[in-house]
C-alpha cells in the first residue's frame, strides 16, 4: 500500500532531522578537536572527544604518540610540538535525534584541562548557537498546504476552480 502524502512528508522530515542531528554531533566533535577550542599541550586532550548515549568517562591515560611529546617537553620546555589526531572521529554510529547524546572527553586529566575555559566559551558562546541554527534552520523545507479556494469570478480565472496555498 502506498504511503499517504502526510506519511511521506513526516518520513522526509524525520530523515532530515536525523541527518541534521548527526551532522551537528560530528561538527561539534570536529570543532572541539582544535587548538582554538581545546587546550593543547601535547594534543591528547583535543584528540579525545567522544560522543555516546551515556555520559563519557574520563579514564584514558596519556598514550603514544602524545606520551612521547610530553616527555620531550619535560626535557626541552621550549618544545612547542603537539599532535591533534581525533581518536573517536567520525562518531562510531548514527544517533537518534529523539535521544540525548553526550559529548565528552576521555582523557583522565580532563577536569584539569577544562580549567582554561576554551571549551566553555565554545559551548556557551555564539558559535554553538550558530551551529545548531545552521543544522536545523538552514535546510528547513518550505511547506505549503493547498486547499480548494473556489471558482474564479473574473479575467482568465472566470468559471475555473483554483487552489490556494498557505505556507506553514
One digit per residue, pLDDT tens: the chain, 168 residues?
A: 567 777 888 888 888 888 888 998 999 999 999 899 888 888 888 899 999 888 889 898 888 888 787 888 788 888 888 888 888 888 888 888 888 888 888 999 888 888 888 888 888 888 888 888 888 775 444 444 544 445 555 555 555 654 444 444
What is the Cα–Cα distance from 101 to 74, expressed in whole angstroms? 37
What is the Cα–Cα distance from 23 to 60, expressed in whole angstroms? 26
Beta strands in 62-156 (DSSP E): 102-105, 144-151
Contact yes or no for 108/59 (Cβ under 8 A):
yes
* Same domain membership, residue 47 and residue 70: yes
What is the number of domains present in the chain? 2
Grid cell 505556507 in the structure block, residue: 167
Sequence-distant (≥ 6) Cβ neighbours of residue 52 within 8 angstroms: 101, 102, 104
* Same domain membership, residue 154 and residue 72: no
* Same domain membership, residue 33 and residue 87: yes
* Same domain membership, residue 55 and residue 84: yes
What range does the domain containing 111 cover?
Answer: 5-137
Amino acid at each position: 500500500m502506498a504511503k499517504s502524502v502526510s506519511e511521506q512528508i513526516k518520513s522526509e522530515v524525520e530523515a532530515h532531522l536525523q541527518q541534521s542531528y548527526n551532522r551537528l554531533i560530528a561538527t561539534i566533535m570536529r570543532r572541539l578537536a582544535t587548538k582554538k577550542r581545546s587546550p593543547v599541550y601535547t594534543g591528547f586532550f583535543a584528540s579525545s572527544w567522544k560522543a555516546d548515549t551515556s555520559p563519557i568517562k574520563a579514564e584514558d591515560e596519556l598514550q603514544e604518540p602524545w606520551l612521547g611529546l610530553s616527555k620531550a617537553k619535560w626535557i626541552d620546555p621550549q618544545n612547542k610540538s603537539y599532535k591533534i589526531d581525533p581518536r573517536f572521529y567520525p562518531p562510531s554510529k548514527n544517533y537518534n535525534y529523539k535521544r540525548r547524546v553526550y559529548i565528552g572527553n576521555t582523557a583522565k586529566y580532563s577536569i584539569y584541562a577544562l580549567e582554561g575555559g576554551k571549551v566553555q566559551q565554545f559551548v556557551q558562546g555564539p558559535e554553538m548557537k550558530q551551529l545548531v541554527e545552521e543544522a536545523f534552520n538552514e535546510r528547513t523545507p518550505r511547506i505549503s498546504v493547498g486547499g480548494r479556494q473556489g471558482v474564479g469570478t473574473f479575467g482568465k480565472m472566470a468559471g475555473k476552480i483554483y487552489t490556494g496555498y498557505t505556507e506553514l
